Structure 1
């Protein structure tokens, strides 16, 4: 077996440890591997590019609610993930839940999840820079003359006390991450290498002098209550219960309920509820002969005009216009 084939096989084994034993290779070459990830739908993919020894760049695309990933701790794997769209949830054995939302990045040491990774709003698109420090060493030296990145320092500063930090991406780093996202399937490897090195440099410059804004963490018990509330809101579209009453009923403070719901679903409760109602309205407009007034009443609107205004704000068309275009 050739040295090149041994390298490919070694990277494949390492990737399976990271992405899970059920990950299926659907395309493979010397510089990249594309996986179908085991999810509750067939629509989970990771396209992994091998940029440097021990450093990979993975493009992630999921249209799913949950997926199955690694089951063992990998304390020498550092992952830097950026969310371009959607939302990612992961519950760790340390007893907290983290959320990666649009425009956030996360730095983590890979450890086994207590629950499978989840996508609360049903989709996720992003990138991940995966660093195997057993191969790169703790200091990635002289990547460009005079520039060295201390990977241990990155891990310690972002992940001290736990295995993951979710951070609001500052503008200069956001620009680089977005360039990497936009280069999917089009840019040469050299360009991707330059951009990943630039992101390393900018991350190193954030430390330790910059106080970065990290996302809040929530207990599994709080998340469970919020998910139950979301399911209830989806089932009872005509509810008029106040947020204060909901908070009392679920045994949470009003502030905790609002903050936790927004962390999970990316929107305040009323905004989420309104958008979901409008999506339900589109289905009723297309699949039934119900009048706009009847649909308005089913969704809890006493005044059809208020419903029509809300529908147009969300969908850009009045309900009658939407029905005419779609039928």
Structure 2
């Protein structure tokens, strides 16, 4: 089969090549991939010299089951699915039933492919915040993949969403997704917030933590700034309404995989029904992968990049 594999001699450190077909285990379905979405973490990871040539990466993919799992778990042959795994940039992938969700037959595979990492991360972090009804929730990196889903889901849960985006051109779009406030940086937020989903790290994390009210929690989801977060000594004081605040880490694959199938199915249904905007801002054939990768690495992309395989 054809796959997009690490090649440190090529632009973007990736090239289309032939690799062996996957051999699914009894609990895995074989999926013919129709579209994949790219995440900065995996694209950046492909540039690392310690990743061997020929490695196939890719967490997010959508397609059709061509061989159901032998143990009877998961969907039947012919089902449209959205999948989470580690080798998505290929024509075929073997996926455990726990890591795939079913989707309506007429759903756009490109839109579905944006769901796994970004949609699941946003959903699982927001659940950790508890009831959001009437609470102020701050989302940094709001115009990125996780951020856009977080803004939409938090708004639907009744939160007063405070979105942070350094791009002023994204402000109207974020408001249309449900943000009540849009600021260029957390330091511009004037009223305390009950919870933070931070995708940026660095100074954004420091200032977002300072915006928390008593009992509030900041969830560190990403570090797109690649900058250190250096807290000043008084950041950890508990006086003046700063009591009992906390910072929590998050790792999607640290959550029980048993819950992903139902969540992927629900998110796919919301995408297909038009109740969630996938935020695709770059889309093209996987033959144009170098262009998509460079756009991501140059930080010129707001939203998701999608490669179509078919």
TM-score if structure 1 supplies the norm length?
0.20
TM-score if structure 2 supplies the norm length?
0.21
Higher helix share: 1
User: Over alpha carbons, which structure has the higher Rg?
Assistant: 1
